[in-house]
Chains A and B, each alone.
Chain A
Amino acid sequence: MWRRIVALVGKEFLALLKDKKSRFVIVIPPLVQLFVFGYAATFDLNHVPYAVYNEDRGTISRDMLARFENSPTFRLTANLHRDSQIRPLVDNKKVLMVLHIGPRFSSDIAIGRPAAVQIIVDGRNSNTALLVLNYARTIVQGFNTEQMNAVGQSALPAHLEVRSWFNPNLQSRWFIVPGIIGLLTLVVTMLVTALSVAREREQGTFDQLLVTPLRPFEILVGKAMPGFIIGAFEASLIVVAAIFWFHVPLHGSLLTLYTGIVLFLLSAVGIGLMISSLAVTQQQGLLGAFLFLVPAIILSGFATPIENMPPLLQDFTLIDPVRYYMVVLRSVFLEGASFHMLIPQFWPMAVIGLISLTLASWLFRHRMY
């Protein structure tokens, strides 16, 4: 039996890798994408272009504006002289924020009356807008504290002490790069498995495979191994790059990490083969791959937290293996989670894997045209 499986696995690898283009597509683009996405996907704001419309001639407003100029978050691109200049700048996306300071700003503050700074933000990207506002408020807050200390006014009755666990500088790259490991492992597994049975069905060679002495289980192992091996190989490359290139700290153990990777591959290969054996043509296989890939990534919590989703969809994410994989990756990397703590993530992936692999091998024989 093992000889037959080895022969089949060998044939599957040949079918996959003998085509130069296919070999290239499976290996190179995922690695290139890791680097591009690793740098691209960040919620941290840098160099946000902004403009200032300062009607005030005093020094206090200049002191406050200097704080914005010295912040790496913001980049001053224009000084405005008329109210009417604001709208075209924001409309045309030249700036994301405009600071408007009225003519009585410095004199009001000098006599102890509160003065307002108007902050206009482009809300087309609401998340960016919210973060820009937060950054700007923090700068104004810092300025306020300094002002009050300077005039000797008894300081505020309470101050905030903010600490952040696991990611002290709140670098979103630490959050995103482990997530990208998840996305790329998924994509590579889909590349290898989603069309493999569909291709044989379309070309008619799958029927030939079925009349050989190979049992469905053996065909399943033969079809699953390439996805498994190539997936594990590329996941390892990406993990190495995450640690040594992106310097994401790996606090947990490699054993825990690899338990997660292996179980995830099991479920991803299973779903890929299931889609593939449901499809009669490669076009259908490709459609199936996308119909799984896209929701699986969206609902995984990769970019947007699962807690923000409506309850019904949150329940739906329970059948998404990527969801568990994301938790495993992030908590092993950043929180140093132990094997024991991640068991609630491990078993659902194992269950999804077993069910989908069983279904796939059942479909081998029972979906015939």
Chain B
Amino acid sequence: MSHHSISGMRIRGLIRKEFLQILRDPSSIAIAFVMPVILLLIFGYGVSLDARHVPVALVVDQPSAGTSSFTASFRHLLYFDPVVMPDMHHAEEAMMDGRVEAIVHLRTDFGRKLHRPGGTPVQIIVNGVNANTARLIIGYGTGVWINWLQQYARDRGIAFGAPVTVEQRVWYNSELKSQDYLVPGLIAVIMTLIGALLTALVVSREWERGTMESLMATPVTMAEILFGKVIPYFVLGTGGMMLSVAMAVWLFGVPLRGALWVLFAGAALFLLVALGMGLLISTIAKNQFVAGQIAIIVTFLPAFLLSGFIFEISSMPDVVQLITHIIPARYFVSLLQTIFLAGNVWAVILPNALALAVMAIILFALIRRISRKRLD
């Protein structure tokens, strides 16, 4: 059997056969087109880290002019939904039941201690179970407190005492909309699933049904079989990618600051890696059941948790940071977030694209190697 000659005609034949098979069980088409729509809709609307309208209990032991100016400053914010509670007992109960996420407590001595050294205490108690939300609430609460201090000073014609003020500039996403950063990351997660799902079962199915042996009896080479498997699913996957980008831009209004061709070049590289992962799983497993299990285990959760899509990679322990390098989605998340929000920053794009290219080469070399062994 000749391993090295590649015939265009034979590949065309294989591709035609694969497309016919795709049409017979339309679940491949569903994977490429229905899955991204459903997932992007759920993800895009469902995943948000912006704490808005957090229910907060306000407890004022002894109302006075000072306390009402303080509680008023809570009402003007989008971040909080303050609920006035008569006493701490009620507030603590509400927090235990999860009806409020935080308690702001102004004690009896609020007015009296205003002019003492050290100032009057404003107590904020947060439910720390979700540490991230708790931290955001504390941050917003601090903002309310500083605004109130400034207002208080202005009303009395005193200069506000704080020597250093903070001027913040948030680049690329000045409104800090979490959707703008989550949607590009989501595309990476979704494309990982699509790529691997499309191909995870296609080779193992041929082994399981015995059609691989029949294929081997023909003059078709292993390289041609691989091309025949990759090209149709690459076409499907690219369709899914275009759909996802269109939804990101037109439905979710994520700005696309980089060039479209750079985006699609990066996506094509990533798709090769994702399809390669699926093919490798399929080649190793040899039966669909195990291939399916491996696909469930190695695709979604690693891409979700280790790609930097939600959890910051630089904050992970060093060993885990090393592990993230074998997750292809990591490079694609970085590419997408940069191309969408920052533009064509070559210093970010080139190394990530290179990493994807290297991964693709390694994956296909591995598949080639394993498949050839079995042919002998």
In the complex, residue of chain A having the shortest beta-carbon distance to the beta carbon of B139: A134
In the assembled complex, A21 has its CB within 8 A of some CB on chain B: yes
State which of A124-132, A231-239, A254-262, A358-366 sits at the interface with chain B: A124-132
Q: A130-B176, A157-B152, A175-B132 are in contact. Are A165 and B114 (CB under 8 A)?
A: no
Q: Can you sample 17 A-B contacts with CB below 8 Å?
A: A21-B284, A44-B315, A119-B166, A125-B337, A127-B132, A133-B170, A147-B163, A157-B120, A158-B121, A166-B128, A171-B131, A281-B27, A289-B292, A290-B300, A298-B46, A299-B46, A308-B49
State which of A2-10, A138-146, A206-214 sits at the interface with chain B: A138-146
Q: Name the residue among A191, A286, A330, A334 with the largest chain B CB count within 10 angstroms.
A: A286
* 7 closest cross-chain pairs (CB), A and B: A167-B128, A123-B173, A164-B128, A134-B139, A43-B132, A172-B131, A92-B347
Give the residues in chain B near A285, CB-CB below 8 Å.
292
Give the residues in chain A near B171, CB-CB below 8 Å.
90, 120-123
The answer on a CB contact under 8 Å between A40 and B324 is yes
B50, B121, B145, B347: the one contacting A308 at CB < 8 Å is B50
Give the residues in chain A near B323, CB-CB below 8 Å.
36, 40
A293 to B310, CA, bound (A): 18
Q: A116-B165, A284-B25 are in contact. Are A294 and B193 (CB under 8 A)?
A: yes
The answer on a CB contact under 8 Å between B129 and A37 is no
Given contacts A162-B125, A286-B201, could you give 5 more A-B pairs where the C-beta distance is less than 8 Å?
Answer: A120-B171, A123-B171, A159-B119, A162-B126, A166-B127
Interface string of A279-302 (1 = CB under 8 A from B): 001111111011101110111000
The answer on a CB contact under 8 Å between B122 and A126 is no
B48, B95, B308, B345: the one contacting A92 at CB < 8 Å is B345
The answer on a CB contact under 8 Å between B315 and A45 is yes
A88, A153, A163: the one contacting B161 at CB < 8 Å is A153
Q: A116-B167, A158-B145 are in contact. Are A42 and B311 (CB under 8 A)?
A: yes
Interface string of A303-317 (1 = CB under 8 A from B): 111011110010000
Q: How far is the CB of A294 from chain B (nearest CB, A)?
A: 6
Give the residues in chain A near B149, CB-CB below 8 Å.
156-158
In the complex, residue of chain B having the shortest beta-carbon distance to the beta carbon of A284: B27
In the assembled complex, A273 has its CB within 8 A of some CB on chain B: no
The answer on a CB contact under 8 Å between A131 and B293 is no
Q: How far is the CB of B264 from chain A (nearest CB, A)?
A: 20
Give the residues in chain B near A90, CB-CB below 8 Å.
171
Provide the main secondary structure of the chain A interface.
helix
Provide the main secondary structure of the chain B interface.
helix
State which of B30-38, B233-241, B357-365, B367-375 sits at the interface with chain A: B30-38
The total number of A-B Cβ pairs within 8 Å is: 367
Q: Name A206-259 residues within 8 Å CB distance of B.
A: none
The answer on a CB contact under 8 Å between B139 and A21 is no
The answer on a CB contact under 8 Å between A170 and B135 is yes
A172 to B35, CA, bound (A): 31
Counting contact residues on chain B (CB < 8 A from A), the size range is: 35 or more
A131, A290, A308: the one contacting B48 at CB < 8 Å is A308
Q: How far is the CB of B229 from chain A (nearest CB, A)?
A: 14
Give the residues in chain B near A284, CB-CB below 8 Å.
25, 27
Give the residues in chain A near B101, CB-CB below 8 Å.
307
In the complex, residue of chain B having the shortest beta-carbon distance to the beta carbon of A88: B347
A22, A36, A96, A133: the one contacting B290 at CB < 8 Å is A22
Interface string of A167-202 (1 = CB under 8 A from B): 110111011000000010001001100110001001
The answer on a CB contact under 8 Å between A159 and B161 is no
Q: How far is the CB of B320 from chain A (nearest CB, A)?
A: 5
Give the residues in chain B near A205, CB-CB below 8 Å.
none
Q: A159-B122, A282-B289 are in contact. Are A40 and B338 (CB under 8 A)?
A: no
State which of B2-10, B57-65, B177-185, B269-277 sits at the interface with chain A: B177-185
B148, B289, B295, B341: the one contacting A124 at CB < 8 Å is B341
A64, A119, A155, A293: the one contacting B168 at CB < 8 Å is A119
A93, A124, A170, A295: the one contacting B131 at CB < 8 Å is A170
In the assembled complex, B71 has its CB within 8 A of some CB on chain A: no
Give the residues in chain B near A114, CB-CB below 8 Å.
159-160, 162-165
A235 to B149, CA, bound (A): 50
The answer on a CB contact under 8 Å between A91 and B166 is no
Interface string of B9-33 (1 = CB under 8 A from A): 0000000000000000101101100
In the assembled complex, B211 has its CB within 8 A of some CB on chain A: no
The answer on a CB contact under 8 Å between A121 and B115 is no
The answer on a CB contact under 8 Å between B306 and A40 is yes
In the assembled complex, A81 has its CB within 8 A of some CB on chain B: no
In the assembled complex, A14 has its CB within 8 A of some CB on chain B: no
In the complex, residue of chain A having the shortest beta-carbon distance to the beta carbon of B96: A335
Interface string of B202-213 (1 = CB under 8 A from A): 000100000000
The answer on a CB contact under 8 Å between B145 and A282 is no
A281 to B128, CA, bound (A): 46
The answer on a CB contact under 8 Å between A187 and B130 is no
Give the residues in chain A near B95, CB-CB below 8 Å.
165
A25, A45, A160: the one contacting B122 at CB < 8 Å is A160
A37, A129, A164: the one contacting B170 at CB < 8 Å is A129
Q: Name the residue among B54, B126, B162 with the largest chain A CB count within 10 angstroms.
A: B162
